[in-house]
Structure 1
Amino acid sequence: MIVYEATKKEFLKDVYDETLVNNIINNYKAKIGNINEREVRSWDNSMQYMHNVMMDPEIPEDSGVAIEFKIPYTSKRVDFLISGKDDINANVVVVELKQWNSVEKVDKEGIVRTRFQHGYAETTHPSYQAWSYASLIEDYNQTVQNENIKLIPSAYLHNYISDIEKGDPLLDKSYSFYVDKAPIFTKGQSAKLRAFIKKYIKYGDNKEGIYKIENGKIKPSKSLQDTLSSMLKGNQEFIMIDDQKLIYETALQLANKAIRTNTRQTLVVKGGPGTGKSVLAINLLVELTRRSMVVQYVTKNSAPRDVYSIKLKGDYRKTQIDNLFKGSGSYYNAPESEFDALIVDESHRLNAKSGLFSNLGENQIKEIIFSSKFSLFFIDEHQKVTLKDIGSIENIKKYAEELNSEITEMELQSQFRCNGSDGYLAWVDNLLEIRKTANDNGFEGFDYDLRVFDNPQLMYEEIQKLNLINNKARMLAGYCWEWKKEGKDNSNVKDIEIPEYNFEMSWNLSSKEPWAIGKNSVNEIGCIHTTQGLEFDYVGVIIGDDLRFEDGKVITDFTKRAKTDKSLNGIKSGIKKDKEYYTKAADDIIRNTYRTLLTRGQKGCFIYCTDYALNQHIQTKIKQMQYTYQLFSQTMYVAEDFEEY
């Protein structure tokens, strides 16, 4: 969708007559919706600069111009497009416009820091942004692919004064990969930008390239399909077994049915920790893309998206693969059935409203079903960890029925985490008094390293040793300590301090890599928000004062949660309205949080509780479990010996 399109001649006249911005505003309101004044001022300012650039008489008058092209299946918009031809190819030059005055280098790939209206913030490098937008169009527009239309990305920072002698952070060598792909032009370099445009736009095309981009058939390119398939092939992390394969084939069948019969299909897959939900989701993402369907992997929490995106890329740089991984709030204004398939992992984390201030859209479940032909929800209702989490099988069914989507329900049983033991997961539920299970005193096959430490420092040292094996051991904690850093990358700030044991650690920091796979992450402590949906070999879990053992029971105390944790926002006002409901909700969230943390380890889980009584209680439970297992083993040995006799 394009907000404004014209020939170069028409564009220059609209700017000269001062009608361009009004045309853009009217078209924007008609095609997209309301617009804010800041965006209007931005257009007015930037288009004056582009007017000066396009005044060059050697840029053909009948070349095409487009402003604010919305890339299909994304919320991204390209600022300025120029279409035409050189001696060989049909070309479209992409110009990403920025009004920035200053830039700071950031130690993250393709990321810089600049000043916005409300202060400094990190954002994508302009060259990365222009290049990734061009790559997205190439990867999803079949007409661009078939007719070999070349997209040429660039960035124009018309207010930014580049000082190469002092070492311009915008041109730092760490960004060179992207700057080479999409050259940057700054204040005083309009002549260079003109020369760049004229290199590719020698002849006009009367907006033909613009038309083909806007109206081209949308489907994943063969190169994207092949790249994804090759990355997945032979990767042990993504191999499916048992009922995963059954659900995989069922999902493919339902996706095909939705396309073939033009009916909505919804598949709900229930599965506990370690049942391989994410492995199955990634396999389906790749296979449905290979089948030329437009599909995205969706989670509320960014941590699993970031990790699986990187794992899928292998040695590739940050590329258009990122468009396959989206947040759950991406669909509140998506058109009906825009996507062939949306695969939602961690569906229990879905919210009602979207946006930074939770003021956008109606309901994320409804929006996901509405905007897709086939929707797949992986869910574990015992992993809701905030008051905003509304994902439930009941709600999914409700909105599926409302939108006339056929429902299929399945369940994943195979266990990969906790050394394949259903019993350990039941034991954790019993320990946390989430539900009464048969695994009160033990579980079959005690092949799992489960320990309670009296000293958190000793637990940390053991995790450090185990992490040397393959960088898959991590420290985790309940959110009972404030985030003192306030978002700053300062590992010298120790958020979690237990002075009597000389223990201090910093909450997980932002770095080049996601915390779950970062090389130095063993020296930082993860919270529920950076670990949910992921797994490690070993975890050391610190249980804070929000979970205690009193009068023979495990109790929760939401007042001990850190103020910087938003999981229980609104709990105090809620309790005033409905004490019973909100007290129960807070209790569930705290127990679910520790259930999630205690089930992140595949080979072992170490525990330290700030509440001494709880520490002792868990030690007793483990001893009972070990004793029960020993009796069980001896009984089995005698039975086998007697049978042989």
Structure 2
Amino acid sequence: MFVYESTKSGFLDDVLAGRLVSEIKRGYQSHGIGMGASSEIRSWKNSLQYMHTVLINSSVPDNAGVAIEFKIPLTSRRVDFLLSGYDNADNANVIIIELKQWSGDSTQMVADKDGIVKTPLGGGIHETTHPSYQASSYAQLLKDFNVTVREKPINLYPLAYLHNFESEHREKLDNETYQSYIAKAPLYIREDTRQLREFVASQIDTGDNRKNLYEMSNGKIRPAKSLQRSLLSMLERQDEFTLIDSQKVVFEKAVELAIQSRRDGQKRVLLIEGGPGTGKTVVAINILAELIQQDMITQYVSKNRAPRDVYEQKLRGDKLVKQIKHLFTGAGSFVETETNTIPALIADEAHRLNEESTFFGRGENQIMEIINAAKFSVFFIDENQRVHIDDIGSKQEIRQHARNLNADIEEMTLTSQFRCNGSRGYVAWVDDMLQIRQTANADGFDLEFDIHVFDSPHALHTAIEQKNNQNRVSRVVAGYCWEWEKDGRADPSISDITIGNYERSWNLDTNDPWAITEGSIDQVGCIHTCQGLEFDYVGVIIGEDLKYRDGDIIVDHEERASTDRSLFGIKKMFRENPNKAAETAEEVIKNTYRTLLTRGMKGCYLYCCDDELQSYLKTRVENISINS
């Protein structure tokens, strides 16, 4: 899909006549896409004026194809600018140009991370991918999934053009740290306009009147054999992705239904319920890998970035394989996707799905959008892990949208417990202790699980640090009761959490997954960086939003940090519907701690900021020891 397409001569005429931006606006509107703020429109005017300069005196034929904003399959990303034609050997070529408005004085090199730079984005300095990495990843994605690009073939030439970037700052981006990506996608800055013009002309000797662009845009989408082999080898060498018990049964049913939908075209939905530690994500990754082997485009979908990043990194291990990243996507990626475009989508943590996708300011319902986009969709759900006021994921909601979209629906349950030392009883004990529901596990559970209440957050953190040194990854997490100030989110010297003389940073805001990044043991994670993940041992600091009074567990939403959006709008809800607001606040806060308390494989260590809750939990844990 192109927002704008023309020829070189048509593009130059549109720029000269001052109508290019209005044509781009019209293209956005015809595809039902919001173009964005006035700043985005200004950036288009600026960048495309530079492309006009590149092309106007070049030897590129007038009938060479030009396209703006080409949507990359399987992503919400778009290529800024494309040129198409044939070289002097009659090879079909498409040049992929990533345009950036960056200036050199505000851009910084990040030497210790792969393909990452810092530059102003969204009102602050943030980490993002190097422009050459970005352009080369687009080309790689097209090679991996577009049949026409692979088989015709169409040669892709990615590059990055930073037309505002000053030469005195070149070394920040054009250096050894990024050389592997610059070799794949050359980097051009302000003073390189002549060289860029020469490169473009060298690849397009004869015009194609947009033919190669059309063929690429309409090419069938199917995974390349190289991607299939790579993904399979990654999965086979990772023991933690092995399926057992009900996991294997669910996996086989999902593969069977996906293949049926491919054969008969009937839309199908598989709804899988599973509590904490039942292996929902492990099954999801296995389904993803198997359907890719079956020549079916498939994506793993989750609202939270944390599980996507962690499992993508776990899957590839120490291999520098980048193309699988596009198999992992956010829940808001399917607003524009037409019905049955994607053979299969796997929605993990489906309880976290929202109504509005907030993708280009649009979206109706993420559950509906996923079911609509895919011939076959899988939803993994635990309704007791809804931890945000906007979470709508429920079995009933999924059933309703499946019926509305004429999808056949089947339901299954994952039962075996692989976390909490295999004890379903511990999860039931947590529910009883938090007074979510009464269970038969009020005074204990059936298998050994290391649970301890510490007298200080210092002692808790030290104990978790020792476990982290001895075993697999262990981490400290907390309820979101301390502010996460914007200016210090990437600064480890900033102490966000202060309890007496205990001071720590919240999980740092970087591109690396907090849950598995070396050094994260010094920080404290929150619900948003650990949900859907697991640790060997978890240390949980329970903030003042959960208290114990007169025999009851009570919640206090006023103690939540203002930077936490989980209860955004609750004050208005209390004014309009106090009963509903109280129920919502209790569900979100108790589910948050239920989720945090069930992240550990072998043990959970606790500290409570509320003295009465601390005493209550000590008594509950002592009763476990007495009765075990």
Shared fold per TM-score greater than 0.5? yes
Is residue 344 of structure 1 aligned with residue 347 of structure 2? yes
User: Post-superposition shift, 1:8?
Assistant: 3.1
Q: How does 1:22-61 map to 2 (within 5 A)?
A: 22-36=22-36, 37-61=38-62
Provide the rounded CA distance (Å) in 1 between the counterparts of 2:479 and 2:17.
61
Matched with 1:272 is 275
Provide the rounded CA distance (Å) in 2 between the counterparts of 1:400 and 1:214.
30
Q: How does 1:241-640 map to 2 (within 5 A)?
A: 241-317=244-320, 319-355=322-358, 360-445=362-447, 447-484=448-485, 486-499=487-500, 502-629=501-628
Provide the rounded CA distance (Å) in 2 between the counterparts of 1:106 and 1:400.
47
User: Post-superposition shift, 1:260?
Assistant: 1.6
User: Post-superposition shift, 1:289?
Assistant: 1.4
* Number of aligned positions between the proteins: 623
Provide the rounded CA distance (Å) in 2 between the counterparts of 1:407 and 1:588.
28
Matched with 2:136 is 131
Do the aligned partners of residues 86 and 432 (structure 1) sit closer, same or farther apart at CA in structure 2, a change above 3 Å counting? Answer: farther
Matched with 2:229 is 226
Matched with 1:157 is 162
Amino acid at match of 1:282: I
Q: How does 1:10-25 map to 2 (within 5 A)?
A: 10-25=10-25
Provide the rounded CA distance (Å) in 2 between the counterparts of 1:246 and 1:160.
55
Provide the rounded CA distance (Å) in 2 between the counterparts of 1:269 and 1:555.
31
Q: How does 1:193-232 map to 2 (within 5 A)?
A: 193-232=196-235
Given that residues 299 and 328 in structure 2 are in contact (C-alpha distance below 8 angstroms), is that contact kept between their aligned partners in structure 1? yes
Amino acid at match of 1:273: P
SS in 2 for 1:538: strand
SS in 1 for 2:191: coil
Do the aligned partners of residues 593 and 427 (structure 1) sit closer, same or farther apart at CA in structure 2, a change above 3 Å counting? Answer: same
Given that residues 488 and 494 in structure 2 are in contact (C-alpha distance below 8 angstroms), is that contact kept between their aligned partners in structure 1? no
Q: How does 1:148-187 map to 2 (within 5 A)?
A: 148-163=153-168, 168-187=171-190
More deviation in 279-288 or 506-515?
Answer: 506-515
Point out where structure 1 has 5 or more consecutive residues left out of the alignment: 630-645
More deviation in 463-472 or 523-532?
Answer: 463-472
1:512-548 CA-to-partner distances (Å, cap 9, x unmatched) read 5211001001000011111100000001111112222
User: Post-superposition shift, 1:485?
Assistant: 5.4
User: Post-superposition shift, 1:131?
Assistant: 0.9
Provide the rounded CA distance (Å) in 1 between the counterparts of 2:294 and 2:437.
42
Is residue 143 of structure 1 aligned with residue 148 of structure 2? yes
User: Post-superposition shift, 1:305?
Assistant: 0.6
Amino acid at match of 1:151: L
User: Post-superposition shift, 1:192?
Assistant: 0.8
Given that residues 269 and 410 in structure 1 are in contact (C-alpha distance below 8 angstroms), is that contact kept between their aligned partners in structure 2? yes
Do the aligned partners of residues 44 and 591 (structure 1) sit closer, same or farther apart at CA in structure 2, a change above 3 Å counting? Answer: closer
Amino acid at match of 1:334: T
Amino acid at match of 1:158: H
Amino acid at match of 2:2: I
Amino acid at match of 1:212: E
SS in 2 for 1:516: helix
Do the aligned partners of residues 564 and 25 (structure 1) sit closer, same or farther apart at CA in structure 2, a change above 3 Å counting? Answer: closer
More deviation in 68-77 or 258-267?
Answer: 68-77
Identity %: 49
Provide the rounded CA distance (Å) in 1 between the counterparts of 2:158 and 2:472.
38
1:386-437 CA-to-partner distances (Å, cap 9, x unmatched) read 1111111111111111111111111000111011111111111111111111
Do the aligned partners of residues 118 and 620 (structure 1) sit closer, same or farther apart at CA in structure 2, a change above 3 Å counting? Answer: closer
Provide the rounded CA distance (Å) in 2 between the counterparts of 1:34 and 1:472.
43
SS in 2 for 1:606: strand
Given that residues 99 and 158 in structure 1 are in contact (C-alpha distance below 8 angstroms), is that contact kept between their aligned partners in structure 2? yes
User: Post-superposition shift, 1:49?
Assistant: 2.2
Do the aligned partners of residues 401 and 216 (structure 1) sit closer, same or farther apart at CA in structure 2, a change above 3 Å counting? Answer: same
Do the aligned partners of residues 5 and 588 (structure 1) sit closer, same or farther apart at CA in structure 2, a change above 3 Å counting? Answer: closer
1:150-193 CA-to-partner distances (Å, cap 9, x unmatched) read 211001112221215xx632224332222222111111211111
More deviation in 78-87 or 596-605?
Answer: 78-87
Do the aligned partners of residues 14 and 616 (structure 1) sit closer, same or farther apart at CA in structure 2, a change above 3 Å counting? Answer: closer
Do the aligned partners of residues 211 and 507 (structure 1) sit closer, same or farther apart at CA in structure 2, a change above 3 Å counting? Answer: same
Given that residues 58 and 197 in structure 2 are in contact (C-alpha distance below 8 angstroms), is that contact kept between their aligned partners in structure 1? no
User: Post-superposition shift, 1:57?
Assistant: 4.9
User: Post-superposition shift, 1:332?
Assistant: 2.0
Given that residues 85 and 205 in structure 1 are in contact (C-alpha distance below 8 angstroms), is that contact kept between their aligned partners in structure 2? no
Given that residues 67 and 78 in structure 1 are in contact (C-alpha distance below 8 angstroms), is that contact kept between their aligned partners in structure 2? yes
Point out where structure 2 has 5 or more consecutive residues left out of the alignment: none
Provide the rounded CA distance (Å) in 2 between the counterparts of 1:370 and 1:30.
20
Matched with 1:638 is none
User: Post-superposition shift, 1:251?
Assistant: 0.6
Q: CA RMSD in A?
A: 2.1
Matched with 1:635 is none
Amino acid at match of 1:605: C
SS in 1 for 2:524: strand
Provide the rounded CA distance (Å) in 2 between the counterparts of 1:45 and 1:506.
40
SS in 1 for 2:48: helix
Provide the rounded CA distance (Å) in 2 between the counterparts of 1:117 and 1:606.
38
More deviation in 532-541 or 225-234?
Answer: 225-234
Amino acid at match of 1:65: V
Provide the rounded CA distance (Å) in 1 between the counterparts of 2:335 and 2:479.
32
1:460-519 CA-to-partner distances (Å, cap 9, x unmatched) read 1111111113451111111122224545322122122221xx322111102352110010
More deviation in 29-38 or 393-402?
Answer: 29-38
SS in 2 for 1:131: helix
Provide the rounded CA distance (Å) in 2 between the counterparts of 1:328 and 1:117.
21
Matched with 2:93 is 91
Provide the rounded CA distance (Å) in 2 between the counterparts of 1:498 and 1:43.
49
User: Post-superposition shift, 1:375?
Assistant: 1.2
Provide the rounded CA distance (Å) in 2 between the counterparts of 1:161 and 1:104.
11
SS in 2 for 1:171: coil
User: Post-superposition shift, 1:96?
Assistant: 1.2
User: Post-superposition shift, 1:292?
Assistant: 1.5
Given that residues 73 and 338 in structure 1 are in contact (C-alpha distance below 8 angstroms), is that contact kept between their aligned partners in structure 2? no
More deviation in 490-499 or 60-69?
Answer: 60-69
Larger Rg, first or second structure (1 or 2): 1
Amino acid at match of 1:291: Q
- 1:100 is matched with which residue: 102, 113, 122? 102
User: Post-superposition shift, 1:90?
Assistant: 2.6
Is residue 110 of structure 1 aligned with residue 95 of structure 2? no
User: Post-superposition shift, 1:362?
Assistant: 1.3
Provide the rounded CA distance (Å) in 2 between the counterparts of 1:589 and 1:628.
31
SS in 1 for 2:269: strand
Amino acid at match of 1:4: Y
TM-score, normalised on structure 2? Answer: 0.94
Provide the rounded CA distance (Å) in 2 between the counterparts of 1:363 and 1:231.
34
Amino acid at match of 2:587: D
SS in 1 for 2:516: coil
